[in-house]
Amino acid sequence: MNYGPLIFLAAFFALAASWFQFVLAPMVQLGSLPQTNTLTGVTYPLARPGEAAQGLQVYRANGCAVCHSQQVGQRGTVFEVELTAAGTNRAAVAEVLGALQPGLGSGAAERLLDSLPRTWLRVKDKETAEGAQKRLTAAGAKAQVGIVPTGPDIARGWGKRRTVAEDFIYDDPVLPGDQRVGPDLANVGGRLPDVNWHYRHLYAPRAEVADSTMPPHRFLFERRKLGKAPSPEALRLPPAYAPEPGYEIVPRPEARALAAYLLSLRADAPLFAAPLTAPLPAPTNAASAAGASTK
C-alpha cells in the first residue's frame, strides 16, 4: 500500500483545520477593522504621527518587545455609584446614604457631602448600583453609575481598560510582546508624558528608576563637545550619569522617534468592546483636604 498520499492528506487536513481557525476566520473578522467611535463619540484610533511611526521601527529594530508587553489584562468590571452634587436637600441625601450604608451616622454622612464628587458604592451587579443611583436622584442629588474595569494591571496604573484589537489597527508591525521583563507599555504615553524623562531613562535607566534592570541605550544618543552654550535639547542628567565637563548628551533622531512613539502609546479610549466611564475628577471642595487625609 502506498501511504504517501494518505499521509499528505492527513497533514493537509490537520493543518487546514488550524489554518481556517486561526488565519482565515480572523482575517475575515478582523482583517478590515475600521476606525470606530469611542463611547464618548470621538473617532478612534487615529494614525500615529510620522515621527511616532518611525519610532515604532526603532522599537522593532532594538527588540523592545522582547521585554515589554503592550497588552493590559482585565479581570472584571465593577459598577460605581458616583455622587457629583448633593443638591439642595442635603438632609434627605444624607439619609439615603445612611440607609445605603447602615454603619454610617447621619452626621458623618452629611460631612462626606462636603467633598464631592466622590465614589460611593462599588458593586458587581448593575441593579444595586442603579437602585442606589435612583434613590439618590430622587432625594435631589446628582448621581451617576460609573463603569470601572479592574485587575492587577489596571491597579498598577498600566491602563484603564483591557487592550483590544482596535488599539493596533494603524500599526505596522504590531508588537504586543510576549514577556514582561519590564512594565507594560500599552498606555505609557498617558502614564509618563514627559519626553525628557524618556530621554534620560533611555540613556541611563537607573538615573530615573533606582535598581532598574533595563539595559541603557546609550547608542541612541550622541556625546558631543560643548559649544558656546549647551544645546537646548541636551539631557540634564544627575551627576553620576552626566558626561565629563565640556561634553553634553544629545538624543539622536532614533531616540527622538522612539520617545515620540512611546508618548503616542495611549490605549485608554472607552470602546463598545471595552467599556468604561471617565474617572471622577478629584474632589474640589475646600473640605476635601480633611477627607482625603483621613482616607
Partner 1 sequence: MNSSSPLPAITPGDREPRDRRAPVPVWVFVLLFGLLFWGMYYFDQHGGWFEAQVYPPYRSLADLQLYQPATGGADLARGKAVYDNVCALCHNTDGAGKPNQAPPFHGSEWVLGSPERLIRIPLAGLTGPLQVKGAEWNLAMPAMGAALSDEDLAAVLTYMRQSWDNKAPEITPEQVQKVRAELGNRSQPFTAAELQSVP
Partner 2 sequence: MSQPRASTPLPASGASATDLSCRLPGLALFLAAALWLLFGSVLALLASIKFHTPNFLADPAWLTYGRIRPAAGGAFLYGFGMQAGLAMTLWMMARLGRTALAWPGLVMAGAFFWNLGVAAGVGGILSGDSTGFPALEFPSYAAGLIFIGYVLMAASGVLAFRQRREREVYVSQWFLLTALFWFPWIYSTAQMLVVLGPARGVLQPLIAWWYSANLLTVWFGLVGLAGLFYFVPQAAGGELHSRYLAIFSFWTLTLFGSWAVAPALAPLPAWITVWSRVATVLLVLPLLTVMLNLHGTLRGRCSLLRQTVAQPFFQAAIPGFAVALALRILGVLFDAGGLLHLTWFAPAVAQCWLYLFFAMAMFGAAYTILPRLAGRDFPFPALVRAHFWLALLGGALIVAPWAAGGWLEAARESDPAIPFLAVVKSTLMFLRISTIGELLLALGHLVFLVNLGSLVARLCKGLAMTALAEATAETRPAEVRA
For residues 5-64, which are near partner 2 according to CB under 8 A? 7-8, 10-12, 14-15, 17-19, 21-23, 26-27, 29-33, 59-64
41 binds, among partner 1, partner 2, none (CB under 5 to 8 A by kind): partner 1
Total site size for partner 2, rule CB under 8 A: 74
Exposure of 190 by Cβ count < 10 A (0-12 exposed, 13-18 middle, 19+ buried)?
A: middle
Q: Which stretch binds partner 1 (CB under 8 A): 95-103, 192-200, 215-223, 269-277?
A: 269-277
Cβ nearer to partner 1, comparing 142 with 224:
142
Is 35 near partner 1 (CB under 8 A)? yes
Written as nine digits, the cell of 91 is 438632609
The residues, ordered by sequence, that sit 6+ positions from 88 with a Cβ below 8 Å of its Cβ are 140
Cβ nearer to partner 1, comparing 159 with 205:
159
- Site mask, partner 1, residues 175-194, x = CB under 8 A? --------------------
Among 10, 22, 40, 173, binds partner 1 (CB under 8 A): 40
Cβ nearer to partner 1, comparing 36 with 288:
36
Taking the C-alpha atoms of residue 181 and residue 138, their distance in angstroms, rounded to an integer, is 51
Reduced to 3 states (helix: H, G, I; strand: E, B; else coil), residue 93 is: helix
Helices (H), 31-150: 50-61, 90-100, 106-112, 126-138
b/e map of 200-236 (b: 16 or more CB within 10 Å)?
bbbbbbebbeeeeebebbeebbeeeeeeeeeeeebbe
Is 128 near partner 1 (CB under 8 A)? no
Measure Cα distances from 114 to 88, 102, 145, 295 in Å: 13, 20, 20, 14
Among 6, 12, 60, 126, binds partner 1 (CB under 8 A): 126
Cβ nearer to partner 2, comparing 19 with 99:
19
Among 36, 62, 101, 137, binds partner 1 (CB under 8 A): 36
43 binds, among partner 1, partner 2, none (CB under 5 to 8 A by kind): partner 1
Q: Which stretch binds partner 1 (CB under 8 A): 24-32, 171-179, 205-213, 219-227?
A: 24-32
Considering only CA atoms, which of 129, 180, 122 is closest in space to residue 156? Answer: 180
Q: What share of the chain is helix, strand, coil (3-state, %, to 5)?
A: 40, 15, 45
Is 30 near partner 1 (CB under 8 A)? yes
Q: How far is the CB of 64 from partner 2 (least distance, A)?
A: 6
| Element counts in the chain: helices (H) and strands (E) | 12, 7
Given a contact cutoff of 8 angstroms between Cβ atoms, the answer to whether 139 and 95 are in contact is: yes
Is 295 near partner 2 (CB under 8 A)? no
Cβ nearer to partner 2, comparing 217 with 256:
217
Is 215 near partner 2 (CB under 8 A)? yes
Is 76 near partner 1 (CB under 8 A)? yes
Is the C-alpha dihedral spanning 119, 120, 124, 125 positive or negative?
negative
Residues that bind partner 1 (CB under 8 A): 25, 29-30, 34-41, 43, 74-77, 126, 144-145, 147, 162, 164-165, 270, 272-275, 277
